[in-house]
Amino acid sequence: MIKRSVKPTAKKTVTQPQPLFIFSNLATTLDGKIGPADRSFFLLGTKADHEQMQVLRREADAIFMGASTLRTFKQFCKVRGVATPKQPMNVILSSKLEGISPSWDFFKDPGLRRTFFVSPKAPAAKVKALQKTSEVVILNPLKGKSTTAQCLEHLQECGIRRLLVEGGGGVMWDFVSENLIDEYHVTLTPRILGGADAPTLVDGKGFNPPDLVNLKLSQCRVVGDELFLIYRKIT
């Protein structure tokens, strides 16, 4: 018989990080597109959708987006009527910071909090230029943790508890492929964009059918010709 020695449980002295709630919010066309193929600036939703975006941003400690979305909008994602220090942090994921200019409006207000997660391939000069206005975290591919795991660990250490993912389709895949999103807010707009290269709600590599993510509908609200849908993760 194998005897097992039972060690006394070590007293916990380290404060455990609080759990992170992750929710996403994007508007799609009837055919699932979130923007035109050329990534040009185009707002899909109506005023009701923009109001809903403000409601959700108000609930977020940080807003996460892909570099491509920043390259399209070039603006800081703000909550209307909220003082600068209380604005949600804006978090950007990029490999090499290509096409991102420190002269954009996004970087103008020194009181706003910005964090970039970049790969080690990001040129040092670009990193240095952004460090004047933003925190830049270099991801470590050798750490044995996925990109999102490294981002989330850092954000939790910074006190982020409610993270709003605003897209686009590339970054959504980073989160969806690991089933990290607790709540999906989707505005279905009565429009059709078409085009094989137009970004969709979730792009990336995609799942094999047995591995796909199943969700539960938790709310469906009709406002004019738009549907405001909330789907939840099945736990």
Ligand X SMILES: NC(=O)c1ccc[n+]([C@@H]2O[C@H](COP(=O)([O-])OP(=O)(O)OC[C@H]3O[C@@H](n4cnc5c(N)ncnc54)[C@H](OP(=O)(O)O)[C@@H]3O)[C@@H](O)[C@H]2O)c1
Q: How far is the CB of 235 from ligand X (least distance, A)?
A: 25
- As a whole number of angstroms, the distance between CA 18 and CA 64 comes to 19
User: Interface with ligand X by CB under 6 A: which range of 76-84, 102-110, 130-138, 166-174?
Assistant: 166-174
Q: How far is the CB of 72 from ligand X (least distance, A)?
A: 4
Q: What is the DSSP string of 59-108?
A: T-SEEEEEHHHHHHH-S----TT--GGGSPEEEEEESS-TT--TTSGGGT
- As a whole number of angstroms, the distance between CA 75 and CA 58 comes to 17
Give just the sign of the alpha carbon dihedral 50, 55, 56, 57. positive
Size of the site for ligand X (CB under 6 A): 28
**Residue at 208: amino acid letter:** N
Q: How far is the CB of 83 from ligand X (least distance, A)?
A: 25
Nearer residue to ligand X within complex by CB, 112 or 188: 188
Written as six digits, the tokens of 109 are 């207000």
Instruction: Confirm or reject binding of residue 32 to ligand X (CB under 6 A).
Output: no
Report the site for ligand X in 98-117 (rule: CB under 6 A).
Answer: 98
Among the listed residues 87, 90, 203, 226, the single contact to ligand X using CB under 6 A: 203
Report the site for ligand X in 41-70 (rule: CB under 6 A).
Answer: 44, 65-69
Instruction: Confirm or reject binding of residue 136 to ligand X (CB under 6 A).
Output: no
Among the listed residues 64, 136, 169, 183, the single contact to ligand X using CB under 6 A: 169
For residue 18, the SS3 value is coil
Residues 6 or more apart whose Cβ sits within 8 Å of residue 11 = none
Contact footprint for ligand X (CB under 6 A): 26-27, 34-35, 39, 44, 65-69, 72, 93-96, 98, 119, 147, 166-171, 174, 199, 203
